Every structure is written in C-alpha cells, then in structure tokens.
A and B are shown apart, each in its own frame.
Chain A
Amino acid sequence: AQSVTQLDSQVPVFEEAPVELRCNYSSSVSVYLFWYVQYPNQGLQLLLKYLSGSTLVKGINGFEAEFNKSQTSFHLRKPSVHISDTAEYFCAVSRRTGANNLFFGTGTRLTVIP
C-alpha cells in the first residue's frame, strides 16, 4: 500500500520569502508523485508531477519539486512567494502499475503574510 505524509499542517511565510513544503511517501513499489493546489473555495488543480527522468520537476506558478528516492521525499519549493500563493497544497502518490487512484496526504496550508 502507498501512503503520504505531509509533515507540516500549516506554514506561514512572509511575502517574497522562500518556502518549502515537505512530503514523504511510503511504498513497496515504484510510484508516480504529484503536488496539487487548492485555492480558497475551489477544487484542486495539478501543480506538477514526477513520472520519470530528471528528479527536479518544474510546475506552474514558479513552483518546483525534487524527487529523492533514497529519502522517499518529494518536497515542494518556491524561491519567492506571492500573496496569491496562499492556498492548501496536497502531495499525492500512485503506483506505476495496476493503479486506478491517487493517495493524498493530509495537506499543508500555506499562508503568505504581507
């Protein structure tokens, strides 16, 4: 079975500061990894995904994430946040084969402070 742990439930950060949202996963098989973002009163949308190849993945809105197989991590980073980045961020994992579903973490609420 797969599982995802998001270590921080809330992360406050000042505008223009860098941010890292942490995600660790557990799986006995190879996986795909995802970050989704949920803006207030909206559904989730894909931020970025790691399928294969380069371990550094770039997404929308200046976000990037690095896949670290040895540490089973997929942390999300942005060098300089904006007020508009205030949202909830979800890390998710799926098996590479035989999977029909994503397993989501519990989410990290990022609050950007002016």
Chain B
Amino acid sequence: DVKVTQSSRYLVKRTGEKVFLECVQDMDHENMFWYRQDPGLGLRLIYFSYDVKMKEKGDIPEGYSVSREKKERFSLILESASTNQTSMYLCASSSEGLGFSGELFFGEGSRLTVL
C-alpha cells in the first residue's frame, strides 16, 4: 500500500525555535511537496522537489526552507518559528513530472502550534 509518513502529527513550539517537519515516502516517487492548509485558504504550496538535492519555491516560501538529501525523504524547516506559522502542514509525493497529470499521495498532516 502506498505510504507517505509524516513523523509528527502534533507539535507545540515556542516563538523563535527551529522546527523540523519530516516526511518519508515508500513509493520511489521523484516529486515531493510541502503544503500548508489553513481554514478558508485551502492548500498553499510552500516548496516542492523533483529530484534529490533539487528544490523549487512554491507560492509561500518565506520563512521556510527544505532539504532533500535522499529520494524518499523531504524535510521542511522553520528556521525561527513565528505564531503566524501555526497551521496544518501536509506532505505529498507523486510519480509524475512535468505536464502534471498524476495523483498526489498525501501524508496525514502535522499540526503545528507556535506559542
């Protein structure tokens, strides 16, 4: 069965802390994505990666960075967490490249609260 695993379902952090959100997929997919989900705003793309060590900014990359050292793992990093980064973070992967027609496979999400 297809699996995207996010390491933490719930996190509580303090303002200014460095936060790591980890995502692992077992489908050998080339593409991986980090989205942020907020009520009334839907899903917004933070960063995506189409290959190891490759990354592209999405629609809202400010305040975030990413790392993809291995094909199966894509990490989202908040260098200095702020309260406006309190949100649900969703990781996804896909096997399709350019000319996107494929399916995104999502993890269960990581709900981050920054105090």
Contact = CB atoms under 8 A, between A and B. Distances in A.
Interface residues of B, number: 27
Interface stretch (B14-22, B39-47, B62-70, B74-82): B39-47
A90 B56 CA distance: 24
Contacts, number: 63
Interface of B: 4, 31, 33, 35, 40-45, 48, 50, 56, 58, 90, 92, 97-101, 103-104, 106-109
Contact of A100 (B40, B100, B108): B100
A9 interface: yes
Given A41-B108, A43-B109, A107-B42, A100 B103 contact: no
Interface residues of A, number: 25
Interface string A71-114: 00000000000000000001000111111111011110000000
- The A contact surface, by secondary structure, is loop
Contact of B108 (A42, A46, A51, A96): A42
